[in-house]
Amino acid sequence: MSSSYILRRVGYGLILMLGVVVLNFLLIRLAPGDPAVVIAGEMGGASDEMLASIREEYGLNKPVITQLGIYVGNVLQGDLGKSFFFDQPVSSLIGQRIGATILLVITAQILSILLGVFLGVIAARKPNGVMSGFVSVFATIGYAVPVFWTGIMLIILFASVLPIFPVEGMQSVRLRSAGGLTWALDVAHHLVLPAFTLAIIYLAQYARLSRASMLEVLGSDYIRTARAKGAAEKTVLFKHALRNAALPILTVAGLQFGNLISGALLVETVFNWPGMGRLAFDSILRRDYPTIMGVLFFASAMVVVANILTDISYRWADPRLRGKS
Amino acid sequence: MKHVTRLLGAAAITAGSLGSAPAFAEGGTLVIGSTQVPRHLNGAVQSGIATAVPSTQIFASPLRYDENWEPQPYLAESWDVSDDGLSVTLNLVQDATFHDGEPITSEDVAFSIMTTKENHPFQSMFAPVDTIETPDEHTAIIRLSQPHPALLLALSPALAPVLPKHIFDDGQDVKSHPANSEPVGSGPFMLEEFTAGEAIILKKNPDFFIDGRPKLDEIIINMVKDPSSLLISMENGDVDMYPFMAGSQEILRLEKADHIEITDEGYAAVGPINWLAFNTKSEKLSDVRVRQAIAYATDREFITNALHRGVSTQQRGPIIESSPFFDDTIEAYDVDLDKANALMAEAGFGDGMELTIDFIPGTKEQQQSVAEYLKSQLKKIGIDLTVRSAPDFPTWAGRVSGHEFELTMDAVFNWGDPVIGVHRTYLCSNIREGVIWSNTQSYCNEEVDEILNAAAIEQDPDKRKELYSRFQHIIAQDVPIYFINATPYHTAYDNRLMNPPKGIWGTMHPLDRLEWSE
């Protein structure tokens, strides 16, 4: 894998990011509603002069194209602007939340891949067995059920009827000053329901995908050879078959990353998880343009980076692709 | 995998047991759950519940009010209103300091009131304030252009926080001053941490100028957008107090919890009214008989008893019924469909008409359900009502402030004195395009303007009450608004809490007397 290939991919990624910034800016301005009226509404009403000064302060009185130019210029200098609503730099608002989102998304990703692949492999062993049927039904339901509904059902079940998990937030407010293991366990306790909610839909997909992929691989000649030479079934499944069946899973994992982030938006809202998704949701309702664009910028960057890493890891995992551009 | 499962199980058990353990000793922590998100914490330049609750803990003010609407000493240990009503002298306590140790002087008070006058959306609060003299460090004399009986109430913590001049008077615009999010005040609690949109952590001010207070060590305001989640957190004991709770589901369910008390006290000065507003400039609604017909057709009792499941109370006029200025002799418009149909026929709409109603999105029970009820109810007097939803607040606010509506549900606060929260809705001079919660009904009656302007400067409380009585009768006749109910704000709190916030300002008042009983 040449470094020029990586550089080219990063270059494409940057151009894509610029396109995303411009498109986001224009799309958001198409939404009806005046941020100055929202700010005034939050203040409890305002005079005409106050409205004018709000528009002046936030540059809302300038033509849209001028605002776009200023925004892109600022972004290129690393300045994402100031939140209309909170009057704080967008970068600091995101900085306070990006860790929570990454924790949720990565946990859900790992959970869905590990459990999904495990279920898929088990199901592929006996394609007509009970487990295989269960995986197919579970995959169909998991894929069809809206993520917010799953979240609400889990809250009713595990936070209200059988209150063993917290209903909202990332940590108990009373334990916030606790450090070390107590803090980590508290966060893990809060993470269970949201991470599982987010993971379910993708878990189902990975289970289906790995089942199909494994079935295909298990029918190939080299598996028959492995079995013929007396390799243990566990070795055949996990060493010989899964390694080859993992390539499509790797591809989908990279592609799904964007969906996972958009799923996180809903999950964070349902569970009051203090991440970027909830910030985005609230900011849309408040017409807080700089914050919405800042969150979209970071979310896009995460997807672009994830895709580049997938490309690179795909080439690393598949020797046939090494050296090809 | 086995290790992961074991670890998660252990995490659940440990964190579960830690989370539910009551950890209160002397002092202790109070966790307030709130669905409201403040922009920042400076109540001098920002109105609203979200800012006022933390702002009144962080900032002290010249006066505070008791549950009988009587002013009490706070930063001002005494005060004097001149006979002509044109000056108010505040004598400040001697030893009060800001959280950073700087002494509070009359200069700070003068700076704060003038800053609030120039920047707060409620401009009527301090509009008559001409100058503030500071003859010595502990005396501030407020000079007025006309008598202003609402002034003392406007000096409450919710409306007149005393800002540190040495921090805010640095040439920056106070509306977007960085200190608004990291405020230094002189109230019972100091800001420790503010994570925008998430949590506010306040610590006891050890040098608070009232000895022995505050009782609590810490207040945490935890922002939870979803009322249902907040309800469960309250039931589970993760949250100790949930103020401004208005949904019947939450109120009725929490009433059943053994460890929780519920009160509807604490909202008298807020004066939240849920109402149906008419665009009086609309062709069909400019005839007062049509507005009266709609009023006679609407069943306030059904709304409060059935739609709000008995948790809200009826509201008949523009001044909240718990206010001393409310006049209970005004026309209440009890349901009378015959009269309503006759009025429609008189107005030339005997064959019916089509109208559209808007509502504030996100408050289903108070707004959307009432709008939907009106659709079926007004059919009885020949009105084909279309319920128009808005995807979000800005869209609704844009329609209403742009006068692009016919009927709309709305919810507006009285804010203590009628001068502050009532006049704005009815004065001809306050019909302002693009300004929400101005006179968006475009209602203009010169007699009403005269009465309100006279009431604003009338110092005799009885005469003032008489003026507001006349005002309420005229509004009842002209029906620019049909008043439905007081928004049923309730406070749920752990029953081990003593001195819960039941005063006229509720939690928008220093919680320095609140304490745990064990």
Report the range of poorest mean pLDDT among A155-169, B270-284, B494-508. A155-169
Is there a single domain that holds both residue B126 and residue B143?
yes
Each as own residue / partner, the long-range contacts of residues A109-113 (CB below 8 Å, 24 or more positions apart, any chain) are A109/A199, A109/A202, A109/A253, A109/A256, A109/A257, A109/A260, A111/A195, A111/A196, A111/A199, A111/A203, A112/A199, A112/A200, A112/A201, A112/A202, A112/A203, A112/A205, A112/A206, A113/A202, A113/A206, A113/A249, A113/A253
Region of B266 (left: φ > 0; alpha: ψ -120 to 50; beta: rest) is: left
The two structure tokens encoding residue A62: 């300038």
Report the range of poorest mean pLDDT among A141-150, A235-244, B209-218. A235-244
Q: Does A148 touch chain B if contact means CB atoms closer than 8 Å? A: no
Is there a single domain that holds both residue B219 and residue B279?
no
* Higher per-residue confidence, A218 vs B211: B211
Distance from C-alpha of A98 to C-alpha of A280, rounded to nearest angstrom = 12
In angstroms and rounded to an integer, the radius of gyration of the C-alpha atoms of chain B is: 24
| CB-closest option in A33, A43, A96 to B195 | A96
Q: Does A188 touch chain B if contact means CB atoms closer than 8 Å? A: yes
The confidence score (pLDDT) of residue B120 equals 87
| CB-closest option in A44, A53, A186 to B48 | A44
SS3 B274: strand
Burial class (CB in 10 A: 0-12, 13-18, 19+), B293: buried
Selected residues 19-48 of chain B with any CB under 8 Å from a CB in chain A: 19, 23, 29, 31, 37, 39-40, 45-48
- pTM value is 0.84
Contact residues, chain A, for B1 at CB < 8 Å: 114, 118
Q: Rounded to a whole number, what is the distance in Å from the CA of B231 to chain A's nearest CA?
A: 10
Is there a single domain that holds both residue B463 and residue B505?
no
Q: Does A44 touch chain B if contact means CB atoms closer than 8 Å? A: yes
Q: Which domain holds residue B207?
A: 4-265+490-516
What is the number of domains present in chain B? 2
Is there a single domain that holds both residue B176 and residue B288?
no
Report the range of poorest mean pLDDT among B90-99, B386-395, B451-460, B480-489. B386-395
The two structure tokens encoding residue B249: 């589901």
Q: Rounded to a whole number, what is the distance in Å from the CA of A81 to chain B's nearest CA?
A: 14
Distance from C-alpha of A90 to C-alpha of A280, rounded to nearest angstrom = 11
For residues B353 and B288, is the Cβ–Cβ distance under 8 A? no
The answer, yes or no, to whether residue B402 has pLDDT greater than 50, is yes
SS3 A134: helix
Mean pLDDT of chain B: 92
Name residue, tokens 């003299």.
B133
Q: State the pLDDT confidence band at B141, using cuts at 50, 70 and 90.
A: very high
Is there a single domain that holds both residue B424 and residue B498?
no
Taking only the tens place, the pLDDT of each residue in B161-190 is 999 999 999 999 998 899 999 999 999 999
For residue B465, the domain's CATH number is 3.10.105.10
Is there a single domain that holds both residue B177 and residue B315?
no
Selected residues 96-135 of chain A with any CB under 8 Å from a CB in chain B: 96, 114, 118
Q: Which residue of B has its CA nearest to A83?
A: B39
Q: Rounded to a whole number, what is the distance in Å from the CA of A75 to chain B's nearest CA?
A: 22
Is there a single domain that holds both residue B255 and residue B306?
no
Q: Does B172 touch chain A if contact means CB atoms closer than 8 Å? A: no
The answer, yes or no, to whether residue B455 has pLDDT greater than 50, is yes
The two structure tokens encoding residue A275: 């991440």
Count of CB pairs separated by less than 8 Å, A with B = 183
CA distances from A28 to A33, A264, A284, B171, B361 (A): 11, 20, 9, 34, 20
Please indicate whether, in this complex, the C-beta atoms of A47 and B432 are within 8 angstroms of each other.
yes
Is there a single domain that holds both residue B168 and residue B195?
yes
Vertex B44, ends B40 and B49: CA angle to 5°? Answer: 60
Please indicate whether, in this complex, the C-beta atoms of B397 and A33 are within 8 angstroms of each other.
yes
Distance from C-alpha of B29 to C-alpha of B47, rounded to nearest angstrom = 26
The confidence score (pLDDT) of residue B19 equals 44
The two structure tokens encoding residue A89: 């730099």
Q: Rounded to a whole number, what is the distance in Å from the CA of A5 to chain B's nearest CA?
A: 37
Distance from C-alpha of A208 to C-alpha of B488, rounded to nearest angstrom = 51
Please indicate whether, in this complex, the C-beta atoms of B393 and A41 are within 8 angstroms of each other.
yes
The two structure tokens encoding residue A199: 């993971």
Contact residues, chain B, for A50 at CB < 8 Å: 121
Non-local (6+) Cβ contacts of A199 within 8 A are A107, A108, A109, A111, A112, A115
The answer, yes or no, to whether residue B6 has pLDDT greater than 50, is no
Distance from C-alpha of B217 to C-alpha of B199, rounded to nearest angstrom = 17
* Higher per-residue confidence, B233 vs B74: B74
Please indicate whether, in this complex, the C-beta atoms of A166 and B226 are within 8 angstroms of each other.
no
Q: Which residue of A has its CA nearest to B33?
A: A173
The two structure tokens encoding residue B29: 């922590």
Average pLDDT of span B321-326: 92
Residue A203 parent element (H or E): helix A180-218
User: Which of B236, B258, B255 lies closest to B245 in space, CA to CA?
Assistant: B255
Taking only the tens place, the pLDDT of each residue in B261-270 is 999 999 999 9
For residue B42, the domain's CATH number is 3.40.190.10
The amino acid sitting at B95 is D
> ω before B149 within 30° of 0 (cis)?
no
The confidence score (pLDDT) of residue A43 equals 60
Please indicate whether, in this complex, the C-beta atoms of B434 and A48 are within 8 angstroms of each other.
yes
Is there a single domain that holds both residue B261 and residue B278?
no
Please indicate whether, in this complex, the C-beta atoms of A189 and B224 are within 8 angstroms of each other.
no
For residues B247 and B487, is the Cβ–Cβ distance under 8 A? no
Chain centroid, CA A41 distance in Å = 33
> ω before B214 within 30° of 0 (cis)?
yes
SS3 B493: strand
Distance from C-alpha of A38 to C-alpha of A243, rounded to nearest angstrom = 54
User: Which of B33, B493, B495, B58 lies closest to B266 in space, CA to CA?
Assistant: B493
Contact residues, chain B, for A175 at CB < 8 Å: 15, 18-19
Vertex B400, ends B399 and B406: CA angle to 5°? Answer: 95
Selected residues 195-254 of chain A with any CB under 8 Å from a CB in chain B: none
| CB-closest option in A44, A159, A182 to B437 | A44
Parallel/antiparallel/unpaired status of strands B353-358 and B407-413: parallel
Please indicate whether, in this complex, the C-beta atoms of B14 and A93 are within 8 angstroms of each other.
no
CA distances from A190 to A172, A273, A282, A311, B177 (A): 8, 9, 21, 33, 35
Contact residues, chain A, for B181 at CB < 8 Å: 86-88
Q: Rounded to a whole number, what is the distance in Å from the CA of B13 to chain A's nearest CA?
A: 8
Taking only the tens place, the pLDDT of each residue in B458-489 is 999 999 999 999 999 999 999 999 999 999 99
Q: State the pLDDT confidence band at A213, using cuts at 50, 70 and 90.
A: confident
Q: Does A284 touch chain B if contact means CB atoms closer than 8 Å? A: yes
Q: Does B335 touch chain A if contact means CB atoms closer than 8 Å? A: no
Distance from C-alpha of B245 to C-alpha of A106, rounded to nearest angstrom = 36
Q: State the pLDDT confidence band at B23, using cuts at 50, 70 and 90.
A: very low
Q: Does A41 touch chain B if contact means CB atoms closer than 8 Å? A: yes
Name residue, tokens 């405020």.
B183
Is there a single domain that holds both residue B456 and residue B512?
no
Residue B386 parent element (H or E): strand B383-388
CA distances from A239 to A214, A227, A231, B2 (A): 12, 12, 10, 20
The answer, yes or no, to whether residue B1 has pLDDT greater than 80, is no
Average pLDDT of span B208-233: 92
Please indicate whether, in this complex, the C-beta atoms of B12 and A269 are within 8 angstroms of each other.
no
Distance from C-alpha of A31 to C-alpha of A22, rounded to nearest angstrom = 15
Average pLDDT of span B343-357: 96
SS3 B225: coil
Is there a single domain that holds both residue B90 and residue B223?
yes
The amino acid sitting at B464 is R
Q: Does A295 touch chain B if contact means CB atoms closer than 8 Å? A: no
Average pLDDT of span B98-104: 97
Selected residues 175-204 of chain B with any CB under 8 Å from a CB in chain A: 175-176, 180-181, 195-199, 201
Q: Which residue of B has its CA nearest to A276?
A: B197
Is there a single domain that holds both residue B182 and residue B259?
yes
Distance from C-alpha of A139 to C-alpha of A116, rounded to nearest angstrom = 9
In angstroms and rounded to an integer, the radius of gyration of the C-alpha atoms of chain A is: 24
Find residue B386's DSSP bridge partners: B356
The answer, yes or no, to whether residue B17 has pLDDT greater than 50, is no
What ipTM was assigned to the predicted interfaces of this complex?
0.76
Selected residues 62-101 of chain B with any CB under 8 Å from a CB in chain A: none
Selected residues 364-393 of chain B with any CB under 8 Å from a CB in chain A: 392-393
